[in-house]
């Protein structure tokens, strides 16, 4: 009889362990902040779009980390542009899937902390959002480009220089 109790106990322990492994998968599902009915990424039809805010922020946004703490020019410039287009980044998904791994709700969260300093996906998406904002694109248009993988074509080499054009002069 004692062996039956041990077997049942082990079974329950294994079952509960399996449940704990499965629950985070459901918790990592796309956020409610995502536009209802959005389609999966064009790059991978089976992959859901990461979390983002479909509407502009209604209140103040947190500041991005100070760029000067980073000595690498690309990282420095990624934080500079992120600070310039915070409202746009707030409305963008991040395809490094930090919504799943770090609980981020948009691309902006990557630059509020140190995450963006070590992630080339975040950096390229920020540069893409900055460039498209300078071209007069809306956050929704920028999001469509990010979803379709256009951020992957960003030439990061130009961000290895000191000078970044100001956001206030849109390129035509």
Q: Give a yes or no: residue 7 inside a domain.
A: no
Number of domains in the chain: 1
Q: What is the mean pLDDT of residues 9-27?
A: 43
Q: Give a yes or no: residue 4 inside a domain.
A: no
Q: Give a yes or no: residue 75 inside a domain.
A: yes
**pLDDT, the chain, mean:** 80
Residue 84 backbone dihedrals phi, psi, to 5 degrees: -75, -30
Note the pLDDT of residue 134.
Answer: 95
Q: Give a yes or no: residue 14 inside a domain.
A: no
Q: Give a yes or no: residue 51 inside a domain.
A: yes
**Distant-in-sequence, close-in-space partners of 169: CB < 8 Å, separation ≥ 6:** 134
Q: Give a yes or no: residue 155 inside a domain.
A: yes
Q: Give a yes or no: residue 128 inside a domain.
A: yes
Q: Cβ distance 130 to 158 under 8 Å?
A: no
Radius of gyration of the chain from its Cα atoms, rounded to whole angstroms: 20
Structural domain span for residue 89: 31-160
Q: Give a yes or no: residue 134 inside a domain.
A: yes
Q: In angstroms, rounded to a whole number, what is the distance separating the alpha carbons of residues 52 and 92?
A: 5
Q: What is the mean pLDDT of residues 121-150?
A: 97
Note the pLDDT of residue 133.
Answer: 97
Q: Is the pLDDT of residue 76 over 50?
A: yes
Q: Comparing 31 with 111, which gets the higher pLDDT?
A: 111
Q: Is the pLDDT of residue 20 over 50?
A: no
């Amino acid at each position: 009889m004692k062996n039956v109790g041990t077997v049942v106990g082990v079974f329950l322990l294994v079952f509960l362990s399996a449940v704990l492994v499965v629950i985070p998968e459901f918790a990592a599902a796309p956020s409610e902040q995502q536009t209802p009915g959005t389609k999966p990424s064009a790059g991978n039809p089976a992959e859901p779009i990461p979390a983002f805010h479909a509407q502009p922020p209604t209140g103040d946004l947190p500041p991005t980390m100070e760029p000067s703490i980073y000595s690498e020019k690309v990282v420095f410039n990624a934080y500079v542009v992120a600070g310039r287009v915070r409202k746009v980044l707030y409305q963008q998904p991040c395809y490094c899937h930090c919504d799943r791994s770090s609980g981020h709700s948009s691309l902006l969260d990557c630059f509020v902390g140190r995450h963006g300093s070590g992630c080339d996906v975040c950096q390229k998406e920020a540069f893409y959002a900055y460039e498209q904002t300078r071209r007069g694109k809306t956050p929704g248009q920028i999001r469509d480009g990010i979803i379709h993988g256009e951020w992957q074509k960003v030439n990061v080499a130009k961000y290895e220089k000191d000078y970044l054009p100001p956001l206030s002069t849109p390129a035509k």
